[in-house]
Amino acid sequence: MRDFAGKIAVITGGGTGMGRELARQLAAEGCSVAMCDVSASNMAATRALCEEDAPQGARITTHLADVSLEDQVERFQREVARDQDTDKIHLLFNNAGIGGGGSIVSGDRAEWEKTFNVCWGGFICAPALSCRC
């Protein structure tokens, strides 16, 4: 894809790091961006950065969602359709991820499961957002 203007991108984990930079670069190219994260304040900062460089008409929306929880990903999908006023997206970046897990010998199983659910479950759940691409 050479031209991002007028396209719609969805980014999980858009509040910081690579997700933030993806959102910034896509918005600067005229792409509308829908991002989710577990931190509303981080997404607000990303949104402000995106809006500084985005041309008029690019829509930047933020959505609070934990990608390890299917009901929150499904809510995110509905919100994207509503807030971006679309029934399809053009780009999907399954970017959300966390480090963790700790020791396999003495670590807490809940910590391992949370890490797995974000890094693997989020990847499995998020494609539901692209079902109409």
Cα 53 to Cα 4, 50, 57, distances in angstroms: 14, 6, 12
What tokens were used for 25? 């670069």
State pLDDT tens for residues 45-79: 999 999 999 999 999 999 999 988 889 988 999 99
Other Cβ atoms within 10 Å of 91 Cβ, number: 17
Which residues, including other chains, have CB under 8 Å from residue 110's CB and lie 6 or more apart? none
Distance of alpha carbon 63 from alpha carbon 73, whole angstroms:
10
What pairing do the DSSP bridges indicate for beta strands 91-93 and 60-64?
unpaired
Residue 52, pLDDT score: 96
Residues 123-128 have a mean pLDDT of 55
- Quote the mean pLDDT of the chain: 86
**Bridge-partner residues for 35, per DSSP?**
11, 62
State pLDDT tens for residues 6-18: 999 999 999 999 9
Q: Which residue has the tokens 């809006």?
A: 51
Residue 126, pLDDT score: 54
